[in-house]
Amino acid sequence: AYLKLLELQDAQKKANEMLKRATGSILSEIEDLINGKMKKFNDFLFKEKRMAPYLKFNEYNSYHFETPHDTGTGTNYKGLILYDLAMLELTNLPAIAHDSSLLKNVGDSSVDGIIKIYSNYKKQIFIAFDKHLSYTDDVAKIIEENTVLTLYANGGELYGYSWNKEQKLDDENEL
């Protein structure tokens, strides 16, 4: 029984080592695909070469994501957007959504490029976007041609009124 136990422990150790190597190889392949797409998108955004965001898996349950030598807020948001675009392209994910708070923190020239990338996708991308006329004419045109819903204050809210305004109730029992 003792010899059988040693044999099984050795087999388990070898199986764990094989699993670790296979997992590392698969994660490395995934890293390469994602990082390649993010670099492609990043290169599209800038005339001169800039560091692209990159993803590094430490283990199957741990990762590191950054843009080397730039930890600024705008760069971090740009990295997140480029990651989402890479995931949209590399997976069966049918759509992504980006709120205006992401895009507001990214530099104007990068936003111009991101909007152009968005416009070339066959899959759906939903964005909340403010002040489209503050950007280039190309971006304003792309936004205007693809706008499905426009919201604005004083009656142009999603349900016709602002949710954060106090309403005077006709009946004290109504909410």
Q: Convert the pLDDT of each residue in 5-36 to its tens digit.
A: 999 999 999 999 999 999 999 999 999 999 99
Q: Cβ distance 126 to 95 under 8 Å?
A: yes
**Model confidence at 172, in pLDDT bands (50, 70, 90)?**
low
Query: Considering the chain, what is the average pLDDT of its residues?
Result: 91
Query: What span, in angstroms and rounded, lies between the C-alpha atoms of 146 and 139?
Result: 11
Closest-CA residue to 132 (of 119, 147, 153): 147
Closest-CA residue to 82 (of 62, 52, 61): 52
Query: What span, in angstroms and rounded, lies between the C-alpha atoms of 20 and 26?
Result: 10
- Using a cut of 0.85, tell me whether the model's pTM lies above it: no
Token pair listed for 167: 């309403």
Instruction: Give me the mean pLDDT over the 38-49 stretch.
Output: 94
pLDDT, tens digit, 9 for 90 and up, residues 85-115: 999 999 999 999 999 889 999 988 899 999 9
